[in-house]
Amino acid sequence: MNTVAPPGSVPATGNLRIRSLEPLVPPARLCHVLPLGPDAAATIVAGRRDVERILAGDDPRLMVVVGPCSIHDPDAARDYAARLKALADRVADRVLVIMRVYFEKPRTTVGWKGLINDPHMDGTFDVATGLRLARSLLIEIAARGLPTATEFLEPITPQYIADTIVLGAIGARTTESPTHRQMASGLSMPVGFKNSTDGSLQAAIDAMQSARTPHSFLGIDNDGGTCVVSSTGNPWGVLMLRGGRSGSNYAPEVMLEARTKLEKAGLPPRIVVDCSHANSGKDHTRQAAVWHDVLEQRRGGDTSIVGMMLESNINPGSQPAHADRATLAYGVSITDACIGWDETEALVREAHDRLTA
C-alpha cells in the first residue's frame, strides 16, 4: 500500500535501501593499537626496495609471489608463512619470495568477500574484526622477515593496512576503474596491474600510465574523516598477465606483444605472469605447466619476465566456505583451488636451481 506523506512534510529520498550505517575505528587508532615494530618495518622497507630494484632491472633475481588464493584461517596462514620464510631464505640469492596475503575477494556475482569483509564467514560482516585480524597477521608475517603482497579492492582499506605491504595489486575486475587507478597513484609500494578479464593488455597498461600521474580524489584521512587526497603518482607499476576469457596469455608471442605495448606507452617492459586463473584454465594442477613454460622463457633470455605468481596453500584443492570451522579441512582454500605446500616448495626450488645467479 502506498503511503501518502502528510501535507507540508518532505518525503525521505535518501538511504532508502540502506539497512544500517556502522562506524569503524579510525585508521590512526588501529595503527596505534597494532603498530609496526622495528623488525616488521625493516622487512617492509627492504622488501619494497628489492621489488623496485627488480622492476628497474638492477636486481636480476626472479620475484615469486606465492600463497593462498585468500586468507580465511589466520593460524594456517602463520603456519604457511613459517614454511615460506624458511624456503625464502634458502633461495634468496636468486629468488625474491613474497607471500600472497589476500583479504579482499572481488566476486563476479556473489560469494564470500574475504577475511576483512566477513571474517566469521557467516554473513555478519564484522569488518572491524576483519581489519584487526588482517593488520595483526600482516605485522606478524613482516616481523618474521617475510614480505607480503595483497590486492586492494575497497579504496578505504589501504589506510588500515598499506603500511605493512611490500607489493600491491589491482585485480582484473578493477584495473579499468578510475577509482582504483587514482588509489594506486598514492600507494607507498610498487603495484601490479592485471590484464582485464577479457584478456586485454591495454586496460592494464592504461592503468599503469594513469597511476604514474598525480591525482586528487575523495578518500579518508588517518582520523577517518572524509577528505580530498592529493597524490604524487606512483612510478613503480608492473604488468601482471593472468589470462582471460579467450584463454591463456603467457606464450612467447604474447610476451612480445606486451613488451611492444609497454615500450610504446613509455613504460618499462617488465612483466609478472600469474600461473593460476585463466592462464591455468582455473585448474590448479596446471599451474606447474605454466610455471615451467614461463621459467624456460626466462632462462631463454626474456628478461622482461621479472616475476611469477602461484596460488598455493598447505594442502591442495579447495572446499566450500562454512561458518563452522571445525568442518573445514586444515590449510585448504575456500576460494580458488591451490596447489599444496610440497609442490610449491619443489617449484620454487626448481626455479632457484635452474636460474643463473
Residue 323 in this model has a pLDDT that exceeds 90: no
- Provide the pLDDT for residue 111: 80
* Domain assignment present for 8: no
- pTM attached to this predicted model: 0.95
Answer yes or no: are the C-beta atoms of 291 and 308 closer than 8 Å.
yes
What average pLDDT does the segment 299-305 reach? Answer: 96
Give residue-wise pLDDT tens across range 137-183. Answer: 999 999 999 999 999 999 999 999 999 999 999 999 999 999 999 99
Residue 357 in this model has a pLDDT that exceeds 70: no
Q: How crowded is the C-beta side of 83, counted as CA atoms within 13 Å?
A: 21
* Domain assignment present for 353: no
Q: Indicate the number of domains in the chain.
A: 1
Residue 297 in this model has a pLDDT that exceeds 90: yes
Give residue-wise pLDDT tens across range 340-354. Answer: 999 999 999 999 999
* Domain assignment present for 233: yes
Lowest mean pLDDT among 37-41, 108-112, 169-173, 313-317: 108-112
Residue 215 in this model has a pLDDT that exceeds 70: yes
**CA geometry: angle at 83 spanning 78 and 87, to 5°?**
140
Q: How confident is the model at residue 1 (pLDDT cuts 50, 70, 90)?
A: very low
* Domain assignment present for 11: no
**CA geometry: angle at 196 spanning 108 and 80, to 5°?**
70
- CATH number at 177 reads 3.20.20.70
- Provide the pLDDT for residue 93: 97
Q: How confident is the model at residue 3 (pLDDT cuts 50, 70, 90)?
A: low
The rounded percent of the chain whose pLDDT value lies above 70 is 97
Q: How confident is the model at residue 280 (pLDDT cuts 50, 70, 90)?
A: very high
List CB contacts of 49: < 8 A, sequence separation 6 or more: none
What average pLDDT does the segment 301-316 reach? Answer: 97
* Domain assignment present for 15: no
The rounded percent of the chain whose pLDDT value lies above 90 is 92
Residue 2 in this model has a pLDDT that exceeds 60: no
* Domain assignment present for 12: no
Phi-psi region of 111 (alpha: psi -120 to 50; beta: other; left: phi over 0): left
* Domain assignment present for 257: yes
Answer yes or no: are the C-beta atoms of 181 and 162 closer than 8 Å.
no
- Provide the pLDDT for residue 9: 83
Lowest mean pLDDT among 199-203, 224-228, 320-324: 320-324
- Provide the pLDDT for residue 344: 98
- Provide the pLDDT for residue 5: 60
| DSSP string for residues in 267-293 | ----EEEESSGGGGTT-GGGHHHHHHH
Give residue-wise pLDDT tens across range 90-115. Answer: 999 999 999 999 999 876 666 889 99
Terminal Cα-to-Cα distance of the chain (whole angstroms): 75
Residue 189 in this model has a pLDDT that exceeds 90: yes
Give residue-wise pLDDT tens across range 58-72. Answer: 999 999 999 999 999
* Domain assignment present for 6: no
Q: How crowded is the C-beta side of 115, counted as CA atoms within 13 Å?
A: 26
User: Mean pLDDT over all residues of the chain?
Assistant: 95
Q: Which domain holds residue 298?
A: 27-345
- Provide the pLDDT for residue 8: 73
